[in-house]
């Protein structure tokens, strides 16, 4: 017995010995590091976005006063004699589109969510929800075309004072684009409200409407608000619809019937034109892009905060 003892190795040790040798062990150690490197690409992308925006924006501010940029109410970069760079008109243009889009998509989206979650049968929901989501998948250039060639002419036949390029038509169409976002995410939030709560209300004699508005809606409110904020963020960053149908006249007013310009549309206008590399106009698209980035980032973080902080767990 004593002779055999030194040679006795447990199975675990054998496995450990074998798996620490050779190519197999090497691969096992290498792969996680390789995958980590791949995962880091997404972080690098964010860093890349932030740094390019910051660097080029700083260059822009060596040529244009930052105070004038933030408070100026005139945006005429293409003026020959004295170009002015006040971003407020672009922000106002963006807000016009965003507000109109929210006014369209908010009520319709939430009403759709209530219908799908509370009234519709399983079969209707299974068909309608994916079909609605097709709306979100339509390329924005197609929506831009639709706004310019269909919605604007209809609007102009009802209200003749509306210009060909205006804020109303792209605003409505951006709203249509974000309906499925609000509807789908809100429906998810409403569906996760437990049935016991509905049954409690029914037992007290409530109608379906009362259950929907007084029980389900408040219980799912954080999800609904978060989805709406997310959709608003999408509307702020929407580019092609406004580039095609909103025109290119930045103005510091609240008129929605005339041509406007948004932050995104300005970037498109400059990059499709021929502003040379290194000119003030070239750098201005980064300053505008940075402003846009901050707006959407704040909205996205707000949406995440709302859905985390105010989520009701059942």
Partner 1 sequence: MRYINHEEVAVRTKKRLTKNTLLKGVFAAATAFGLIVLAILLYRIITQGSGYLSLDFFTSFASRIPEDSGIRAAIAGSIYLMLVVAPVSMFLGVGTAIYLEEYATKNKFNDLIKVNISNLAGVPSVVFGLLGLTIFVRFFDLGISILAAGLTMSLLILPIIIVASQEAIRAVPNELREASFAMGATKWQTILRVVLPASIPGILTGSILALSRAIGETAPLVVIGIPTILFFMPEGIMSTFTALPMQIFDWTKRPQVEFHDVAAAGIIVLMALLIIMNSIAVFIRNKYQKRY
Span 240-269, contacts to partner 1 by CB under 8 A? 240, 243-244, 264, 267-268
In whole angstroms, how close is the CB of 234 to partner 1 at the nearest point? 8
Compute how many residues bind partner 1; rule: CB under 8 A.
Answer: 85
Of 73 and 249, the one with the shorter C-beta distance to partner 1 is 249
How far is Cα 145 from Cα 150, in angstroms, rounded to an integer? 8
The answer to whether residue 301 forms part of the interface with partner 1 (CB under 8 A) is yes
Task: Identify the DSSP state of 48.
Answer: H
Sole binder of partner 1 in the list 193, 215, 281, 285 (CB under 8 A)? 285
How far is Cα 219 from Cα 230, in angstroms, rounded to an integer? 19
Residues with Cβ < 8 Å from 171, sequence gap 6 or more? 96, 97, 98, 99, 100, 101, 104, 256
Span 40-59, contacts to partner 1 by CB under 8 A? 40-43, 45-46, 48-49, 52-53, 56
Task: Count other C-beta atoms under 10 Å from residue 21's C-beta.
Answer: 9
Interaction mask 148-187, partner 1, x per CB under 8 A: xxx-------------------------x--xx--x----
Residues with Cβ < 8 Å from 142, sequence gap 6 or more? none
Of 3 and 134, the one with the shorter C-beta distance to partner 1 is 134
Sole binder of partner 1 in the list 2, 3, 38, 204 (CB under 8 A)? 38
The answer to whether residue 306 forms part of the interface with partner 1 (CB under 8 A) is no
The answer to whether residue 294 forms part of the interface with partner 1 (CB under 8 A) is no
Q: What share of the chain is helix, strand, coil (3-state, %, to 5)?
A: 75, 0, 25
């Amino acid at each position: 017995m004593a002779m055999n003892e030194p040679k006795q190795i447990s199975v675990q040790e054998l496995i450990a010995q074998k798996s620490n040798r050779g190519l197999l062990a090497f691969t096992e150690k290498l792969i996680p590091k390789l995958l980590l490197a791949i995962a880091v690409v997404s972080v690098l992308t964010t860093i890349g976005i932030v740094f390019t925006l910051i660097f080029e924006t700083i260059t822009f501010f060596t040529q244009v006063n930052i105070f004038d940029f933030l408070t100026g109410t005139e945006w005429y970069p293409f003026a020959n004699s004295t170009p002015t760079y006040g971003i407020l008109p672009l922000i106002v243009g963006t807000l016009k589109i965003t507000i109109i889009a929210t006014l369209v998509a908010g009520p319709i989206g939430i009403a759709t969510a209530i219908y799908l979650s509370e009234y519709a049968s399983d079969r209707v929901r299974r068909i309608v929800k994916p079909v609605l989501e097709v709306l979100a998948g339509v390329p924005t250039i197609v929506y831009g075309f639709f706004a310019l060639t269909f919605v604007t002419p209809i609007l102009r036949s009802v209200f003749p004072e509306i210009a060909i390029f205006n804020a109303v038509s792209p605003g409505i169409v951006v709203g249509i684009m974000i309906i499925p976002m609000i509807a789908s995410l809100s429906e998810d939030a409403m569906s996760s409200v437990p049935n016991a709560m509905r049954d409690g209300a029914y037992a007290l004699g409530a109608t379906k409407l009362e259950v929907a508005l007084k029980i389900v809606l408040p219980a799912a409110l954080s999800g609904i608000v978060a989805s709406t904020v997310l959709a608003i963020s999408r509307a702020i960053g929407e580019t092609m619809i406004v580039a095609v149908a909103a025109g290119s006249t930045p103005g510091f007013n609240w008129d929605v019937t005339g041509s406007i310009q948004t932050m995104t549309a300005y970037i498109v206008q400059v990059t499709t034109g021929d502003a040379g590399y290194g000119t003030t106009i070239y750098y201005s698209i980064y300053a505008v892009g940075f402003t846009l980035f901050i707006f959407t980032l704040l909205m996205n973080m707000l949406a995440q905060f709302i859905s985390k902080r105010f989520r009701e767990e059942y």
